[in-house]
Amino acid sequence: MASLGSDTHSFIIKIWVEEIVDETKPVVWRGHITHVPDGERQYLNNLPDIQRFIAPYLKAMGAEVGKGKWRQWIKRGRDKSQDG
């Protein structure tokens, strides 16, 4: 995380839902997130991993990183994946 002091951060997030074989099991998210300026990449096993990766960059910029809105975004994503 060499670029923590920067004013601007770009991230590339690639996520997908793992193929569901047994519909009684919960949805499994996979993917990876890359911080563009320094190339740091983390592989994801669930959506909250995105927040954990981005949070230090936001905190370094002075942002308050809360869970409320993030949880709403994740819930919407889960609901949409189960609808379609």
Segments making up each domain of the chain, as ranges = 11-83
Please write the tens of the pLDDT for every residue from 25-76: 888 889 999 999 999 999 998 888 998 999 888 888 887 777 666 555 556 6
pLDDT tier, 20 (very low <50, low <70, confident <90, very high otherwise)? confident
Whether the predicted pLDDT of 2 surpasses 60: no
pLDDT tier, 22 (very low <50, low <70, confident <90, very high otherwise)? confident
Q: Give the 3-state secondary structure of 15-80.
A: EEECCCCCCCCCCCEEEEEEECCCCCEEEECCCHHHHHHHHHHHHHCCCCCCCHHHHHHHHHHHHH
Q: What is the pLDDT of residue 74?
A: 55
Cα–Cα distance for residue pair 16/1, rounded to 1 Å: 25
